Amino acid sequence: MTNRVAQVLMLFLMAIAVCVSPLLDGTALAQTAARIAYIDVQRILARSSAGVAAREQLEKDKAAMQKDVDGKRGEVEKLREELEKKGALLSADARKEKQDTLERKVRDLRRQVDDFRAELERKEQGLLQKVLVDVSGVVERVGKQKGLLLIVEKRGAGVIYGSPEADITEEVIKAFDQEAAKGKK
């Protein structure tokens, strides 16, 4: 959830609370508050089996990309050392050609590193977005089972304080992992 959407949602909730609170006695207000919960999406991504699997896949992709970059970095270093050691012995044209080759390889390596970084970010967003889409159904189901009126995301909604009893993150992780295990069978 974007920060803007979370802010609008919080303003809406505060407006409802201000309008309705004079109509409610203390008991009704407490009952309404007890029907609001929050989840920590970052904790779900870090602890759920799907979130862990997504992180592991990203680490594998990152390791493969790093291996490729390290190989090319070795080539660049080898060419740089060769130019430093033998550069004085080469003709001006040969030295210029080696220098141009080195500069091109350095440029290519930088471009590749930037491309890999962008690709990893894109993959991370895609994997995490898939997990979030999958978990949203679980959050809705847990909320209905518990009779909740509202579930907010702890960080995106700007929750300053939340009672531990209102935190249903662990329940969501457990239900999400159970649903994922059923899907694998």
Report pLDDT digits (tens) over 17-34. 544 445 445 454 445 556
| Angstrom distance (rounded) from CA 48 to CA 116 | 26
pTM, two decimals, is 0.61
Q: Which two tokens stand for residue 70?
A: 């390290």
| Angstrom distance (rounded) from CA 180 to CA 6 | 28
Report pLDDT digits (tens) over 56-89. 999 999 999 999 999 999 999 998 898 888 878 8
| Angstrom distance (rounded) from CA 158 to CA 90 | 65
Give CA torsion, residues 132, 135, 136, 141, to 10 deg.
180
| Angstrom distance (rounded) from CA 173 to CA 48 | 5
Q: What CATH code is assigned to 34-184?
A: 3.30.910.20
Please, how many CA atoms are within 13 Å of residue 57, restricted to the half-sphere of its CB? 13
Query: How high is the mean pLDDT of the chain?
Result: 80
- Asked if 120 contacts 54 with a C-beta cutoff of 8 angstroms, the reply is no
Q: Tell me phi and psi for residue 152, to 5 degrees.
A: -115, 160
Residue spans of the domains in the chain: they are: 34-184
Burial class (CB in 10 A: 0-12, 13-18, 19+), 116: middle
Q: How confident is the model at residue 130 (pLDDT cuts 50, 70, 90)?
A: confident
